[in-house]
Amino acid sequence: MSAPTLQRAQSVDRFGRSWEGKRVTVVGLGRSGQAAAALLCQVGARVRVTEFAESTALKEIQSRLLEQGAVAVELGGHQHASIDTAEMVVVSPGISESAEPLLWARARGIPIISEIELAYHFCPSLIVGVTGTNGKSSVVTMIARVLQAARRHAVACGNLGVPFASVLSQLTPESVAVVELSSFQLIGCHRFRPTVAVLLNIGTNHLDRHTTTNSYLSAKARIFQSQTADDWAVINGTQPLLQAITAALPSRKLIFGTDAGNDPAFLLSPRTLSALSPGCQAVLQAVRALGISDPLTHQVIRESRGLEHRMEFVDAVRGVRFINDSKSTTPDSLVFALTRVRGPVVVIAGGRDKGMDFSPLAGALASAPVRGVILIGESRNKLRPVVESAASPERALHEAATLDEAVRTAARLSGPGGTVLFSPACASFDMFRNFEERGRAFKGCVRALARESEASA
C-alpha cells in the first residue's frame, strides 16, 4: 500500500489544528492501520504502531513505515510504553473495545479515534457516508458510479477494503468521497460529518462485540451525530426503529422504502418503489441530494454489474450454476440471497459466529426451493439445529471440513438447472483472513471442478 502523498504544509487539519510533532499511536496493522500510520507520518506526527501479531508480511510493513518516519513499530505484542507516551490513539476496526492498549488509553484519558475520523480531519472533499447491516458495499459502489457518470470525481472507499486515509491524495474540493462505514469505525468517530449520511437497515450483527442490539444501533446512528441542517440523512422508512432514532435529527431527511415523510421534490413513484430494490432507492435519494437527475441514476442502475463476492456468478458446471456470495456475513444476507436465486438451490453456509441469531434462517430455508445445505466452519453446531428445524425429505443436511469438500458435495446434491449458493451468513475469520480470500477460495474450488469436468468429458 502506498502512503498518501500529502505535503508537510497540510499538517494543519480542517479544524486549524497542527499535527506536526503530535504523539499518536496506531493500534492494529491491518489495511486501515497501515493507511492511518502512513497518513500520520505524512503530516508530521510522531507515530508509534503496536500490533499483537507478527509475520514476515508485517515485518515488511514495519520496515516501510520506519522508512516513512514512524518512531517505532511494535510487533508480537503490546507494551505499555506505546500508549503511555501517546497524546492520541488511532484504532483499527478489527481491534476489540476490550483490547489491552485501548483499556490502557481509557485509563489514562487518552482520546481514541478511528482511521475514518483521522482521515476526515484532512479530507478536502464532500463526503457521502453509508452504513447499515447489509448492502453497504453495493450502495457505495453504485453511488460512486452514478456520480462518475455525471462527470463528478468520486472515489469509493472505507470498509469495502480501500481505507479512507489511503485515498486522500486523490481528492480535491470538487471530489466526492463515498465512504462505507462499519459500526466499529463509527464508534471511533466524534466529529466526522458526511454531507449525505445513509443508514440502509439494521439487523442482528456483531453481537460478539456489541453486547446488545441497542449498542449496535447506537453505533450505527453515530453517522448522523455531527450533521447540521445543511446536511442530508437518507433513512429506510420501512424500519420503525430507524425512524424513531432519527426523528430529532437536525439534518434534512430523505426516506426510501416508502414515501411517508418525503418532500414533494423527493417522492418515490409507485413504479420506482416496486421496480427498485431498497438499496437502489437509497442510491437514488442520496444522489438526488447532490443534484443528480433521476434518468441518469436509473440508467446507471440498469447498466451496472454486481460486485465481486456479492451474488457473483462464477461458472456453470454440468448445468449447475455456482454463485459466490462470500460478502454474506449475516443471516439477513443469506435470507436476501435466497430471494435472488431461481430454481432448486444447494446452500453452503457457516464460518465464524459473531453471536448472531440464526433463527430467521429456518423460515427462509423452509420457504425457498432448497435442495440441501452444507455447513462449514466454527458455527456448524449453532447452525445445525436451525437447519434441522427446516428439514424435510427433500432437503439434505451435510457438513464439510473444508470448502473444497463443501463445493464437491453441493455439486453432487444439485443437478442440471440447479444453483449452488455460497452465502456463509458468518464472518470468515475461522478459516480465512477476510471475505475476499474466502470468495476467491470458493471460485478456485469451482474452477478446479470445471477443469475436471472438462477433462472427463
Distance from C-alpha of 101 to C-alpha of 51, rounded to nearest angstrom: 10
CATH code of the domain containing 99: 3.40.50.720
The pLDDT value recorded for residue 309 is 84
Q: Cα dist. 354→99, 220, 325 in Å?
A: 17, 17, 18
Angle, CA 197 vertex, CA 191 and CA 203 arms, to 5°: 105
Residue 106 has a pLDDT of 96
Amino acid (one-letter) located at 260: A
Among 333, 324, 280, which residue's Cα sits nearest to residue 133?
Answer: 333
Domain co-membership, 259 together with 133: yes
CB burial readout 316-345, b (16+ within 10 A) else e: ebeebbbbbbbbbbbbbbbbbbbeebeebb
Same domain, 244 and 133: yes
pLDDT score, position 8: 47
**Cα–Cα distance measured from residue 423 to residue 77, given in angstroms and rounded to the nearest whole number:** 34
Residues of the chain with pLDDT under 70: 1-9, 204-212, 305-306, 391-394, 456-457
Which structural domain range is residue 42 located in? 19-110
User: Is 4 a domain residue?
Assistant: no
Q: What is the pLDDT of residue 396?
A: 84
Tell me the CA distances in angstroms from 39 to 3, 45, 53, 298, one per residue in order. 7, 9, 22, 37
Residue in the structure block whose three cell numbers are 428439514: 391
Question: What's the total number of domains in the chain?
Answer: 3
Burial class, 396, CB count within 10 angstroms (exposed 0-12 / middle 13-18 / buried 19+): middle
Domain edge (last residue) among 90, 110, 130: 110
Q: State which amino acid sits at residue 192.
A: F
pLDDT of residue 25: 98
Q: What is the pLDDT of residue 428?
A: 86
Exposure pattern of 427-437 as b/e (b: 16+ CB <10 Å)? bbbebbebbee
Structural contact between residues 328 and 337, judged by C-beta atoms closer than 8 angstroms: yes
Q: What does the DSSP 8-state code read for residue 364?
A: H
* Residues, the chain: 457
The residue among 56, 76, 110 that closes a domain is 110
Regarding whether 274 and 130 lie in a shared domain, the answer is yes
Do residues 224 and 206 both lie within one domain? yes
Q: What is the pLDDT of residue 211?
A: 59
Domain boundary among 303, 321, 343: 303
Beta bridge partners of 317: 320
Give the pLDDT of residue 206: 47
Give the model's pLDDT for residue 204.
Answer: 56
What amino acid is encoded at 404 in this protein?
D
Exposed (0-12), middle (13-18) or buried (19+): which is 457, by Cβ within 10 Å? Answer: exposed
> What are φ and ψ of residue 277, in 5° steps?
-65, 160
